[in-house]
């Protein structure tokens, strides 16, 4: 249980840091400018961090629940497979929906897919290297 809590906290912090790097860099800001008419004027960083910490706990729990069903013989490979699974449901489906609903540049969709893939693979690998059921 102690390892689960530590990994969940670590992954939540990693989630928040990666989200900040991915979304707040100058290149991303130019791409996301298309959303400027509907963007909030300020970001509630503490609320965002709480959400990312909650994601860390939930994703770690789901990883443990799926562990034996994930392909691969090592924790690292299972983690990467989990990352791909999460990328599909969290990033790919969201990016595809945005592409269908909004007039956004293809470069924004590609950026979202690529950075989301990197983020989810990194998080999945982190889980795979640090968590084992039982």
Crossing angle for the helix pair 106-130 and 75-86, to the nearest 10 degrees = 150
The whole-number pLDDT of residue 45 equals 86
Distance separating alpha carbons of residues 3 and 73, to the nearest angstrom: 21
21-52 pLDDT tens trace: 998 899 999 999 999 898 888 888 899 899 99
Please give the pLDDT value at position 40: 84
Q: Is the pLDDT of residue 9 over 90?
A: yes
- pLDDT tens for 61-109 read 999 999 999 999 999 999 999 999 999 999 999 999 999 999 999 999 9
**Distance from C-alpha of 129 to C-alpha of 132, rounded to nearest angstrom:** 8
Report the pLDDT value the prediction gives residue 134, as an integer from 0 to 100: 79
Q: What is the pLDDT of residue 16?
A: 92
* DSSP of 48-108: HHHHHHHHHHHHHHHHHHHGGGSSSSSHHHHHHHHHHHHIIIIIIHHHHHHHHHS---HHH
Q: Residue 105 has what pLDDT?
A: 95
**pLDDT of res. 39:** 84
At 125 the pLDDT is 97
């Amino acid at each position: 249980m102690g390892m689960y809590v530590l990994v969940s906290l670590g992954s939540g912090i990693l989630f928040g840091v990666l989200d900040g790097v991915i979304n707040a860099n100058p290149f991303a800001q130019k791409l996301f400018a298309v959303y400027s008419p509907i963007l909030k004027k300020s970001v509630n960083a503490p609320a965002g961090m709480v959400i990312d910490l909650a994601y860390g706990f939930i994703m770690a729990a789901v990883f443990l629940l799926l562990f034996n069903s994930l392909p691969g013989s090592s924790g690292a490979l299972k983690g990467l497979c989990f990352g791909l699974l999460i990328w599909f449901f969290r990033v790919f489906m969201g990016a595809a929906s945005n592409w269908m609903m909004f007039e956004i540049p293809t470069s924004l969709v590609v950026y979202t897919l690529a950075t989301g893939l990197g983020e989810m693979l990194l998080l999945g690998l982190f889980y795979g290297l640090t968590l084992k059921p039982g």
